[in-house]
Amino acid sequence: MRTPGNPRAYQRAGWMVIFGLSLVLAGNSLFFGLTGADPEIFETDTGVAWSAFSDDYPTVATLVDLAERLNGTGYFGMSLFAAVVALFGLRKKARWSWYALWIFPAALLLGAGWFFTHDQPLVGGFYSAVAATAVVGLLLPFRLLFPGKES
């Protein structure tokens, strides 16, 4: 039988799952935040070459590029925030960090929903998978953080 002072390895690994996932998503998001709209993806999604679109609609093209950069920047910031909370809060078994980190998968699922409803199933699937993994990372340390509760 385990005692509260002798947690199982998987219970201690929850923060590592969130931390690692956050860093991977931060790197991915930083790339999109720095590069903006990808001409190949734009053409695949719309059937229109980016160069033709940006020549015909320069203001709208600028806004599309800005939206891509803001999306990447937003997820980059959220990911870094989750990494910091996991490293300095969840790793030290602070209950507040466990509650705060539920924002991470919730925001990812909200983003996934938007991608699914806007004909982007691959991106929506990616964000859904990251959110599901984050939920697993949050559930792993549950008994360690809340020893008297049933899960």
SS3 letters for the chain?
CCCCCCCCHHHHCHHHHHHHHHHHHHHHHHHHHHHCCCHHHHHHHHCCCHHHHHHHCHHHHHHHHHHHHHHHHHHHHHHHHHHHHHHHCHHHCCHHHHHHCCHHHHHHHHHHHHHHHCCCHHHHHHHHHHHHHHHHHHHCCHHHHCCCCCC
CA separation for the pair 133, 15 (Å, rounded): 12
Q: What percent of the chain has pLDDT over 90?
A: 77
Instruction: For residue 151, tell me if it sits in a domain.
Output: no
Instruction: For residue 150, tell me if it sits in a domain.
Output: no
pLDDT at 4 over 60: no
53-112 pLDDT, tens digit per residue, is 999 999 999 999 999 999 999 999 999 999 999 999 999 999 999 999 999 999 999 999
For the record, the structure tokens of 12 come out as 């201690």
pTM, entire model = 0.84
Domain count of the fold of the chain:
1
Instruction: For residue 95, tell me if it sits in a domain.
Output: yes
Instruction: For residue 5, tell me if it sits in a domain.
Output: no
91-102 pLDDT, tens digit per residue, is 999 999 999 999
17-35 pLDDT, tens digit per residue, is 999 999 999 999 999 899 9
Instruction: For residue 114, tell me if it sits in a domain.
Output: yes
Domain that holds residue 44: 10-145
